[in-house]
Structure 1
Amino acid sequence: MRRLPWVLIPAALALGAAGCGTSPDRSGALSGADSGARTAAAGLGKLHSTATQAFVRADGKAQRLVGPNVQPVWDARSGDTWAQPAYTAIKAKGFTSVRFVLFWDDFEPRKGAWNETAFKTLSTALGRARSAGLYVVLDCVHLYGQPEGQGRVPAWARKADGMGAVASNGLRFLQQLAARYGANPALAAYDPVNEPYRWPVNHKSVLADYTKIVNAIRAKDAKTGIAIEPTYGDARVPSSAFASFKPTRRSNLIWSVHDYYTGNAGVGFDRNDIGTSPNASDGTTGYKPADKANLAKHLQVHLDMAKKVKLPVWIGEFGIGGRAAGHDQFIKDKVALFKSKGLGYAWWEYSDNGTFSMVNGNGSWKAWAGLVR
C-alpha cells in the first residue's frame, strides 16, 4: 500500500547512477568489457508458473526472482534511461530481477495514440536488463494518487477508480505491451495493475475486472506469467471472492502482495480488511523487532488464501524509509521470512528521492543494500 507520490529521478542523480557520470548509451549496445553480460543474457530462458512456484525454469527448477523496483522511462519525450552499467551492477550485487514501474499516460496520452518514444525507451531498458542476465516483471499500470489511484492514468481514460479505468480503457495498452514484449525470454511476468483501487472494498468486482485484463493479455501472449494483486496491494481477500475470477485460461498466474507491514497491530488488517496503516510505505513508520512474530502472521493470511485458490505468491513490493527506526532489522527479518517461505520479492526501490533508495547520489550502493539479497 505504497501511498507516497512518485518522485521523478533528477537527471544528475540518474546519470551518475546509470553510467558513473557519463551519459546513457541510448543504443543499448554492450561494450567489449560487457561480454560477460552477453553470456548472462544467453542463459535466460522463458519462465512459467505452477500452483506453488511463481517462477519456474524449463528444467522444472524454481527460479527465485529477487531485486529492486526500477523506473525505466524518466520522461515520455526523451530516451533517457538507466545505462547498461546500472543493470550490470544490480546483477553483480546478487539480484536476479527488476520490476519495471510504468505509467500509462507516458505511453498512451491520447486514446489510441501511442508514444513510440516511450516504447523505444522501454525496449532499450528491457534489452539492458536482459543483457545483464536479469528477468523483468512489468508493473504495467502503476496506480497511485488521486482521483482514486489515477494520478498517472491518462485523463481521457479515467473512471470511478483506477481499476475500473484499466478494465474499461486500458486493455488496448496492455495488449500493446504483450504484443511487443511477450516473446522476450527476459520478460518473467506482467503485473497489469499496481495496487488496484476500489472503494468501498469489493474483492469480487476487482477479480471480475481481472478476468477482463487476463483475457486481454492472453489474446496476445498465451504463456508469460500474469500477476494479480489484492486491493491496495495488501488487502485480505477471501478465497470465495475468486468465484468471479473466470479467465479463459487459468495457467501461469501469480498472486502478488505488497508487504510493508511492520507488525504493529497483530495480524495487521483493519475492519475493511485493508492492511493496517500507518505502515512502512509512508517512509517514516519504523519497526520494532519485538513485533517480528506478527510479520509472519500477516504474510500467512495471504499464503493460506493463495494455497486455497492454487496460486503461487511473489512479493512485488516491500521496503522501509531509510531513516526509519529499525530499518536494517526490518529488512533482515522480512528477507528471512520470505526466504523461509521460498518467496521471491522486489525492494521498493532502486533509486528515488532518497526515502527508499538503495543507491547514493553517485550511484554507489548504500551500506545496507546487501541485506535485501
Structure 2
Amino acid sequence: MIKFQKRIVLLLIAVVFLSCDNNKEKTDINASLPSTITVEGDRFVDDLGRQVILNGVNVGSKNKEEGYIFQSGPELYANLKKHGVNTIRFLIIWDGLEPEPGVYNEDYLKEIDQRIQWAADNNIFVVLDMHQDLFSVKYSDGAPEWATLDEGKPHTTGAIWSDAYLLSEAVQTAFDNFWRNKPAADGVGIQDRYIALWQHIAKRYANNKTVIGYDIMNEPFPGSSGVQSTMVLLGAYGQLHYKLTGEVLTEEQLGAMWSEEESRMEALNVISTKENYDFVISQLFDLVKEFESKHLQDMYQKVSHAIREVDNNHIIFLEHSYYGNTGVASSIERVSLADGSPDPLVAYAAHGYDLVVDTKAAALAANERVDYIFEQINKKGEQLKMPVWLGEWGAYYDNSETVIPTAVHSVGLIEEHLFGNAYWSYTNDLEDMEYFNQVLVRAYPAYTNGQLLNYRNDFDSNTFTMAWEEEGMNNNSPTVIYIPNISKLNKEEIKDFSIEKIKDSDAGYLIIPTSETSGKRTLNLTF
C-alpha cells in the first residue's frame, strides 16, 4: 500500500512537472512575439523594444463584384504565418468605403475588420493602404464615380495598363481636379472628402494594435503634367541615343519606339546600365519635385492632421510619387504635428519596380536598374531619417526559372538595405510559384534585441548569416529569427537556442536569449 501511494505521489509530481513545462513553453511563445509595432527614429520597433523587419505581402481585391475584398477565409492568414509573413499591406478602396459623398459603407468596414482579426489571430500586423490605379473605378480602381471629375475627357490606353497614366486625358484631368480640391456635385471638395474618410478610418482603428499604420495613397500621380514627363523622358532618351550612336531620332521615331512593347524592350536594353539609366531618369527630377513639394506634401499634411486629431498611436506611411517607383529621387518630407513639431511616427513607404514591370519581360529586370532604384530609395530613407518600407516590389507572375535569379537579386538588395517589404502581391497561385517557395520564403530576423547590423541569405550555399549589436542588460527580450525549414537546421549551430514551431508546419522561430553583457553578436546557420 505504501509503495502504491509513493507511485501515485511520483506520478502526480511528474504530471505537475510536465504541466509546468508545457505552460512555460506557451509562455515563452507568447513572450517572444510582439503585440504591436511602432517607429523609433529610423527603425521599426515592437512593444518589447526590439528592432523589427516587416516581412510581408500585399493582400487585396480591386474587383467591385468581390466587394473589394480578397476572397478567402482565415486559412489564408494561417498559411501566411507559416511562410514567415509578419505584416500585410491590406488594400482598401475609396469606391467601396464611400459609395456616396459622406456616406461610409459599414458592411465593407466590417469585412475589413474580420480580416484584421484573422491577421491578429496569426500574429500578423496590418498596414491599411488606400489603393488606386488610374485614379478611379471608371478606369481601374480607386475613387468612386462621384469623385471622378474628368470633365468628359477621353480615356486612352496604351501597350500596358499603366501607360494610361501618361496617355489618358480623363485620368490626368481627374487627378488635376483632386489636387485642386475641386468640389463634387454636393459642393464639397473631393480632396476634403478624402481627408475626412481617412479620419473616419483612423478613428475606427485608433486603439487596434494589429493595425500599425496608414498608407495614405497608392502611387500618387500628378495629373496633366504626365504629358510633360513623357516629353522629358523621350527627349532624354533621344539625347542618350545621339550620345551613343551619333544618330538623331525624330519625335515620331521616339514615340513609335515606346508605343509598342517589343520595340520598348529594345530601347530599354540601352538604359540597362546605371550610368545610362541615370542620364535619362534623373531629368525628371525637377518636374516631379514641383508636384511632390507642393500638391502631394500639402495633401499628406492635411491627412496627417486629420488622423492625429483622433489617433496618435499609428504610423503614417508616406509614399513618393508614381515616378519614384522607377528611381526618380523623391522630394517628400516628414509631416508635422499640429504644434509644428516633426511627427515621430512616420515611415517612408517606397515602391521599387524596374521598367519592365507589367510586361511579358517582368522576369528579366535589369540588375543595374534595380540596384539604382533601390539605392535611391535607401538614400531618401537616410535623408528623411525614417524607416523604409518597400510597400511594393516584384509583380513577377511567372513560374519560369528565369524569375528565380531576378527574385534573388531583389531580395539581396532588400536584405542589404534592411528594408521592410511587402511583395506585390498575393494571388491564389502564389504559393505554387517556385520563386515564392525558394526565395521569398526565407530566414530573416523578425525581431532583434538591439541594432540589426546586417543579415543575408545565400541561396547557393543554403546559409544564413546575421550580425547585431545587442542591448543586453537593458533589454532581456530574445531575438527571434523566422526559419522556413526547422528540420534542415544544423543542430550543432543552434544547441544554445530554443525553437518554437508553427502549428502544422516545418517552419518556426529560432529564439536566441540575451547574453549577459551588451555587444556585437553574430549568427551563422546552415540548412
Q: Rg: which structure is higher?
A: 2
Q: 1:50 to 1:119 in 2, by over 3 A?
A: same
Q: Map 1:210-229 to 2 at 5 A.
A: 210-229=300-319
Match of 1:348 among 396, 405, 424: 424
In 1: Cα distance, 2:144 partner to 2:364 partner: 40
Q: Map 1:319-358 to 2 at 5 A.
A: 319-323=394-398, 326-351=402-427, 357-358=429-430
Task: List per-residue Cα deviations over 1:138-180 (Å, max 9, x = no partner).
Answer: 11x2110256987430122235418636743211211121111
In structure 2, what is the equivalent of residue 87 of structure 1? 77
In structure 1, what is the equivalent of residue 120 of structure 2? 130
For residue 51 of structure 1, report the CA deviation from its aligned partner. 3.1
> Does the CA-based 8 Å contact 1:76-1:107 persist in structure 2?
no
Q: Does 1:242 align with 2:232?
A: no
- The one-letter code matched in structure 2 to 1:368 is Y
In 1: Cα distance, 2:35 partner to 2:134 partner: 36
Q: Map 1:291-306 to 2 at 5 A.
A: 291-306=366-381
For residue 311 of structure 1, report the CA deviation from its aligned partner. 2.0
- Residue range with higher mean Cα deviation, 293-302 or 59-68: 293-302
For residue 325 of structure 1, report the CA deviation from its aligned partner. 7.6
> Does the CA-based 8 Å contact 1:40-1:133 persist in structure 2?
no
In structure 2, what is the equivalent of residue 30 of structure 1? none
Q: Does 1:367 align with 2:434?
A: yes
- The one-letter code matched in structure 2 to 1:225 is I
Q: 1:229 to 1:149 in 2, by over 3 A?
A: farther
* Greater RCO (Cα-Cα under 8 Å, separation 6 or more): 1
Match of 2:175 among 136, 148, 161: 161
Q: Map 1:1-373 to 2 at 5 A.
A: 43-53=33-43, 55-71=44-60, 75=65, 81-139=71-129, 141-145=130-134, 151-159=141-149, 160-161=174-175, 164=179, 167-199=191-223, 200=225, 201=288, 202-205=291-294, 206-232=296-322, 234=325, 236-239=328-331, 242=333, 245-248=335-338, 249-261=342-354, 278-280=355-357, 282-288=358-364, 291-323=366-398, 326-351=402-427, 357-359=429-431, 365-370=432-437, 371-373=439-441
For residue 287 of structure 1, report the CA deviation from its aligned partner. 4.3
For residue 83 of structure 1, report the CA deviation from its aligned partner. 0.9
For residue 283 of structure 1, report the CA deviation from its aligned partner. 4.3
Q: 1:209 to 1:122 in 2, by over 3 A?
A: same
Identity, in percent, stands at: 23
In 2: Cα distance, 1:293 partner to 1:198 partner: 27
Task: List per-residue Cα deviations over 1:256-301 (Å, max 9, x = no partner).
Answer: 111122xxxxxxxxxxxxxxxx322x14223448x42442222111
- The one-letter code matched in structure 2 to 1:308 is Q
* Structure 2 spans left out of the alignment, 5+ residues: 1-25, 150-173, 182-189, 226-287, 442-527
In 1: Cα distance, 2:100 partner to 2:66 partner: 13
> Does the CA-based 8 Å contact 2:346-2:386 persist in structure 1?
yes
> Does the CA-based 8 Å contact 1:142-1:194 persist in structure 2?
yes
Q: Which has the higher strand share?
A: 2
Q: 1:78 to 1:150 in 2, by over 3 A?
A: closer
RMSD between superposed Cα atoms in Å: 3.0
In 1: Cα distance, 2:39 partner to 2:78 partner: 26
TM-score, normalization by structure 2? 0.53
- For these two proteins, the number of residue pairs brought into alignment is 305
- The one-letter code matched in structure 2 to 1:242 is E
In 2: Cα distance, 1:146 partner to 1:135 partner: 27
- The one-letter code matched in structure 1 to 2:435 is W
In structure 2, what is the equivalent of residue 26 of structure 1? none
- Residue range with higher mean Cα deviation, 99-108 or 324-333: 324-333
Q: Which has the higher helix share?
A: 2
Q: 1:41 to 1:96 in 2, by over 3 A?
A: farther
* Structure 1 spans left out of the alignment, 5+ residues: 1-35, 262-277, 360-364
Task: List per-residue Cα deviations over 1:202-233 (Å, max 9, x = no partner).
Answer: 11121111111111111111121111001115
TM-score, normalization by structure 1? 0.73
- The one-letter code matched in structure 1 to 2:406 is F
Task: List per-residue Cα deviations over 1:69-105 (Å, max 9, x = no partner).
Answer: 1116965769884211110010011111111011111
Secondary structure at the aligned position of 1:368 is classed as: helix
